[in-house]
Amino acid sequence: MLKVMFLGTSASVPTKERNTPCLYFEHDYDVRFLMDVGECCQKSLISYGLKFMRVNHIFITHWHADHFAGLIGLIQTMGLEGRRKELHIYGPKRSKEFLDKLLTVGYYNRPYKIEVHELSPGDVVSFERFTITAFKTYHRIPSIGYVFEEKPIMKANMEKAAKFGLKTGPLIGKLKAGETITFKGQTIKPEDVIEEVKGLKVVYTGDTEYNEDMIESIKGADLLITEATFAEGDKEKYVYHMDLKEAVTLAKKANVKRLVVTHLSRRYVKEAYDDYVAQLKNMFSDAEVAHDGMEIKLKR
């Protein structure tokens, strides 16, 4: 199971209702990580009862302040709370330079180590049960998006198993392990019962303008989280962001199952927000507008 919580959904500046960008991910109740860390990140983590001391990995899409300004406070609070486990921070080129500067601001002791990893498109961060792959995005400064992808698992097709008289138990476990078994005079091979099940795929673009080169990385996602800073018709020229029409076009061309748009301009309040939502629903019925505190749970 993967839980995704939106801690910040505003573009550039916070509003009364929205913090700047931050996403919290929790995989099967053990691995927790963040993507982007807006300035109100740690307050949101506390408000929603999320165990931020168990966050060991932070992924930054790009080094605009609304996407990283919460790092200093979060890093300091982790130290004050007695953290000893190292923290890994990932981002595009120049990440080490920027983190070196951030970590020398102010007077405080940090009793744990921070490892900074600069990623290029195509680089993979591998965990026990999933990977996170960087892909190229198209912002005004160096930027990357991230593809979360569970590793495939071997699962018994119990309808096929039933034809052999098999039920859940040790024999199924042997088949999953690749062993051929004998049961009631039948020789049963793993491929007779066991199937490879594809894992979840979730993509977060961060800030980017529309570019079809991203489709290859996004295609087939169970969930696409992408910016749509503007409603259709509101975006000015030479702005390195997407509007709703572009976000929906990207989702449809990549054949994603579910679309959630975030990073809304602060202009979308009251009637303007209602119009924004209506425009999105008219374009793509399986799409939602993110809001702070929104939680999504996905199962393979």
- Contact between 35 and 146 (Cβ < 8 Å): yes
Among 36, 66, 243, 292, the active-site one is: 66
Among positive and negative, which fits the CA dihedral 28, 31, 36, 42?
Answer: positive
The reply to whether 28 belongs to the active site is no
Give the separation between CA 161 and CA 156, rounded to whole angstroms.
Answer: 7
Sheet with 295-298, strands from edge to edge, namely 114-118, 87-91, 55-59, 31-37, 22-27, 2-8, 295-298
Which H or E run contains 260? strand 259-262
Q: In 110-197, where do the E strands start and end?
A: 114-118, 124-126, 130-136, 144-150, 153-156, 181-183, 186-188, 194-197
Angle between helices 95-102 and 71-80 (to 10 degrees): 60
Residue type, 56: N
Residues taking part in catalysis = 66
